[in-house]
Chains A and B, each alone.
Chain A
């Protein structure tokens, strides 16, 4: 006669609880981060959603629930759509340029035979750690049409007859700020690429060189395919960082002339705090922030979906070979 010694089935909840108990120290160590995130990330996010349904200046206790009125007003606000468009234009133009130039730099500076590469890395990364407001102010002097070095070089070389008002020209202001932002933050994207390049085993290059591969072949058949999975996340990180250009725009143009370089963050600041001679509108500004945040989230999700799709297609093609 045989007897079964099978244990009674455990509930999933009990299993989870046991897992938590087993790894309780991990959770204990996570508490400070969770508390700080709750206080300084999640709470402000939830409150901005709540504020977006209020008619509220931000200064008084006089708050009125207006439902979706702020959003309805937002959709009809030409200044909002102008800023919205400029922010996305900023991303669409600045991100590919930053990705391309920083990748090129990363590949060059990843070369171990280049003895001065740490110095150059530092040089390219230095603007990243310099305060954006300071960079903005310095650039106003550099680009000054009266006696700025850039205009002096342009006029003395005969490239232009008259000094260019980079910050005051309606057609140049946004591109000028964009150029400065690309220069300032390219270093961080370069570091991302450098980190990705560290994952490429040197043995691959050595083997390829023995087989007679030149630089172009190494890049095309080894570097790029291995870096491809990293590209999506680096693009996402760079795009996210490029959406946060308030300090540089505010320091250089304040969104002017006549809002020609006003991006979303500057628009939100203007509505929330400046008030243009009337009362500021924190509720309305929150609605603008929430709306823009959702738009950015949609773009990010779309980007991730496209990256996954491309990855699975490549995997399928690899399996067919």
Chain B
């Protein structure tokens, strides 16, 4: 399967329109914090009121559909969608359970065994899709979504990835949203930076960051600090800084530090050392929020709007939560610090969709789920998802992004987050798109027992020497990938480490379908 994704340059107005799959050309992100950045020129109507018939043979008796996912941004569009759907189909009730990942991880395996799982659920983190299929947890969508082939063709080529969505020719899930979301947006406390004498909307250089943090800390006099960060993500943030310095590696899950130009992990590059040393220096200055090592990301996120820190590096999911729970909190959304405050280095990512959901094999009314998926996956449904989420989500379907960009309901900060993603994120080559057998490698990939979170906590709590810790994790990561490839080969997959080498990859541009041929 080839990937063919749009790479049209952005204008500010169409930043959201192509944000999920395109290239941004914005120099900075000094955004107004007023709601509604769309021009509304065409003024199309948005909302879930007019859900069209899909042709699904729906039940006429009273039925209840269970649906469990992790809520947050999804709840922003699913709740109005379900309300409209139930209005349209009075005999259908949706029992929507937005739950924490801990609950999903614990409840779904038990519920599946008891044959009482929700009809649609988010996959527990420790259950690979392939295992969920082999265990009979989930059903394919091919015979469930009406006009399946036509529906699937509405997505861009390459949106359905072997080993992610497609297994043995059957489609088990679909990219409800785009994974082109930048996880390290610079969220800046407007008042604290202004009080310290800095422009809250200005793009910082990494050298500036230390000074800014020091100034905010001094100005805060024990009540506020320069940087809010958490022990579980500090190493990831350091790697992201290394990426901003030009170190083009993957920063996702068990593949953090993988350089796809060589197929080797590279965690000991000078950029990585420099990034870690910068954070260590900021820590030595006393400019990081006290007790950060024992914080988790949720706690750090929840404490930031209380005015205790100047800068937080977090994902777009924080934006609607702050606006809902802390309406008086003034903050800016922008790019993280670059090498010199100027143009950014690219941030490679794999577009594999986000918020994937699965159909329970024991679902009593799969036709209802098929009907829902049919609409939610259409360009119109995707556009309505984006608008209902106020622009905090984007679609893998360019036309849906373009349509949603015309809405006047989008939140300016959400649009700014999409602009950052468009500016920084570039499609990295995906070994599964070169050779579908690599799905078997990912299935068998057991990351080192020392996690990235462990590495960060060890280095910043003085338990581990920086270079030695990075070298050890690099070696263990390379060994883990080799072992996964060997295990996949033993299982009959035709794979090799060479599948992970893309010598023709230019990290500053999206990797195109044509480039897979020449890789």
Q: List A residues at the B interface (Cβ < 8 Å).
A: 57, 59-62, 77, 79, 140, 144-146, 162-163, 165, 167-170, 173, 253-254, 256-260, 273-280
Contact = CB atoms under 8 A, between A and B. Distances in A.
A184 B291 CA distance: 23
Contacts of A258: 454-455, 457-458, 461, 463-464
Contacts of A254: 296
Nearest to A162: B286
A165 B454 contact: no
A145 B254 contact: no
Contacts of B292: 168
B125 interface: yes
Interface in B286-323: 286, 289-296, 308
Given A168-B231, A258-B464, A279 B126 contact: yes
B362 interface: no
A257 B458 contact: yes
B294 A276 contact: no
B214 interface: no
Most interface-central of B290, B458, B460, B464 (chain A CB within 10 A): B290
Given A168-B231, A170-B461, A258-B461, A276 B290 contact: no
A173 B231 CA distance: 14
Interface string B125-145: 111100100110000000000
Interface in B108-166: 109, 124-128, 131, 134-135
B402 to A, nearest CB: 36
Contacts of A140: 294
Contact of B126 (A57, A61, A79): A57
Given A57-B126, A258-B463, A277 B254 contact: yes
Given A256-B294, A260-B463, A278 B445 contact: yes
A165 to B, nearest CB: 5
A257 B289 contact: no
Contacts of A77: 449
B446 interface: yes
Contacts of B127: 59
Nearest to A165: B291
Nearest to A176: B294
Interface string B444-480: 0111010100110110111110000000000000000
B387 to A, nearest CB: 34
Contacts of A276: 447, 449, 451
Nearest to A169: B461
A167 B135 CA distance: 40
B454 to A, nearest CB: 5
Q: Is the interface of B mostly helix, strand, loop or mixed?
A: loop
B93 interface: no
B253 interface: yes
A167 B290 CA distance: 11
Contacts of B447: 276-278
Contacts of A259: 454
> What are the 10 tightest A-B residue pairs by CB atom distance, in nearest-first order?
A168-B293, A258-B458, A168-B294, A278-B446, A167-B294, A257-B457, A145-B290, A258-B457, A257-B461, A275-B126
B294 A146 contact: no
Contacts of B294: 140, 165, 167-168, 173, 253, 256-257
B320 to A, nearest CB: 26
Given A60-B134, A260-B461, A279 B291 contact: no
20 contacts: A61-B135, A77-B449, A79-B449, A144-B291, A146-B290, A146-B308, A168-B231, A168-B292, A168-B294, A256-B293, A257-B231, A257-B293, A257-B457, A258-B455, A258-B458, A274-B126, A275-B126, A278-B446, A279-B131, A280-B126
A240 to B, nearest CB: 27
A280 B293 CA distance: 25
Interface in B417-463: 445-447, 449, 451, 454-455, 457-458, 460-463
Contacts of B454: 258-259
A137 to B, nearest CB: 11
B217 to A, nearest CB: 12
Contacts of A60: 131, 134-135
B231 A279 contact: no
B105 interface: yes
Given A59-B131, A60-B131, A256 B457 contact: yes
B116 to A, nearest CB: 17
Give the interface size bracket for B toward A.
35 or more
Most interface-central of B125, B231, B295, B461 (chain A CB within 10 A): B461
Most interface-central of A162, A258, A273 (chain B CB within 10 A): A258
A165 B283 CA distance: 13
A60 B131 CA distance: 7
Given A168-B231, A256-B294, A279 B461 contact: no
Contacts of A61: 135
A273 B447 CA distance: 15
Contacts of A57: 126, 131
Contacts of B457: 256-258
A141 B214 CA distance: 25
B300 to A, nearest CB: 12
B360 to A, nearest CB: 15
Nearest to A163: B290
Given A62-B131, A257-B460, A258-B464, 20 more contacts: A57-B126, A57-B131, A59-B109, A59-B124, A60-B135, A79-B449, A163-B290, A168-B231, A168-B293, A168-B294, A256-B294, A257-B293, A259-B454, A277-B253, A277-B451, A278-B445, A278-B447, A279-B126, A279-B446, A280-B126
Most interface-central of A57, A253, A276, A277 (chain B CB within 10 A): A277
Interface in B245-302: 253-254, 286, 289-296
B289 A59 contact: no
Nearest to A78: B449
Contacts of B449: 77, 79, 276
Contact of B293 (A165, A274, A275): A165
A133 B451 CA distance: 25
A275 B125 contact: yes
Contacts of A275: 125-126
B461 A168 contact: yes
B461 A278 contact: no
Contacts of B124: 59
A170 B463 contact: yes
Nearest to A252: B294
A59 B291 contact: no
A273 B105 contact: yes
Contacts of A167: 291, 293-294
Most interface-central of A59, A60, A140, A145 (chain B CB within 10 A): A59
A167 B457 CA distance: 12
Most interface-central of B293, B294, B462 (chain A CB within 10 A): B294
A79 B463 CA distance: 14
B290 A165 contact: yes
Contact of A59 (B135, B290, B296, B462): B135
Contacts of B253: 277
B61 to A, nearest CB: 34
Nearest to A167: B294
A166 to B, nearest CB: 8
A62 B130 CA distance: 12
Interface string B372-393: 0000000000000000000000
